[in-house]
Every structure is written in C-alpha cells, then in structure tokens.
Amino acid sequence: MGKTSLLRVLSGVWPAAEGAVVALPAAPRVLFVPQRAYTPPQASLAELLLYPAPPSAADADAAADGGARMLEALGWAGLAHLASTPAALRAAGGCAGLSGGEQQRLAAARLYLQRPSLAVLDEASANLEPAFEAKLFAW
C-alpha cells in the first residue's frame, strides 16, 4: 500500500480492507486534501466547499447564512472572482474550467470554511504558488 492509499484509509475516505482505524476524530471532523483536487466541472462551488455534505445539505447551508461564510472562504483563498453572490455559489457548473492551482485553492478554502479537527494533507500544496502555500501552512 502506498502513502496516498494509507492516508485515504486513515482519513476515512476509503474503508480499511482489514482491521480498524482507531484514535482519530470522527469522520466528519477529518478532511482529506489530495495532491490533485477532485473538482467535477458540473458541481457548484457550494457543493465543493461543503463536501462531503450531500448537495441538499450544501444548498441548505448556503441559504442559512446567505453564503457569507463560503464567500469569505473564497476570498481568503484568493478565489473571490469565482462567486460574488450566494446565488453564484449554488450555480451548477461553478467549478468548470478551474486551473490546477484554483482547484487546490478551492480545497484550501474548504479547510478554512470547515475547520476540521484533523486535516490530512497529501502534497496539498501541489500547483500552488509559494506565497499562497506559505499562507495555507501559516493558517
């Protein structure tokens, strides 16, 4: 088993084939950020920021605070240009055409928004310029 596979099992992304993982926070408080962010182009920004919540929960959370927290997270990650309104957060296809660096910044915005108990970073700074990489790790 490779490093990435081990990290995915430890963070709960993949089930363990045998045995059990113990002494980690419950799965909802653990976020896994891979080397290459999975950003389906048809997804809304809200769906990606709130992943692993199901899409209906993403819509409910976006509506609950008007999307202000998600817009703040995008701004922190240097992605404010992707959405300026709560409606834009919920628009299907909001993730289409993002560069590799923008996809990684979106994953960083998810960390900033969700503030997990444990963040498992598997070379999460891939495709990030040094200034934002420093900002992410300082945070």
The H or E element that residue 31 is part of is strand 30-33
Q: How many domains would you assign to the chain? A: 1
Q: Report pLDDT for 27.
A: 55
Separation between Cα atoms, residue 66 and residue 89, nearest integer Å = 10
User: Which residue range(s) make up the domain with 12?
Assistant: 3-138
pLDDT in tens, 57-88: 656 665 667 789 999 999 999 999 999 999 99
CATH number of 118's domain: 3.40.50.300
Residues of the chain with pLDDT under 50: none
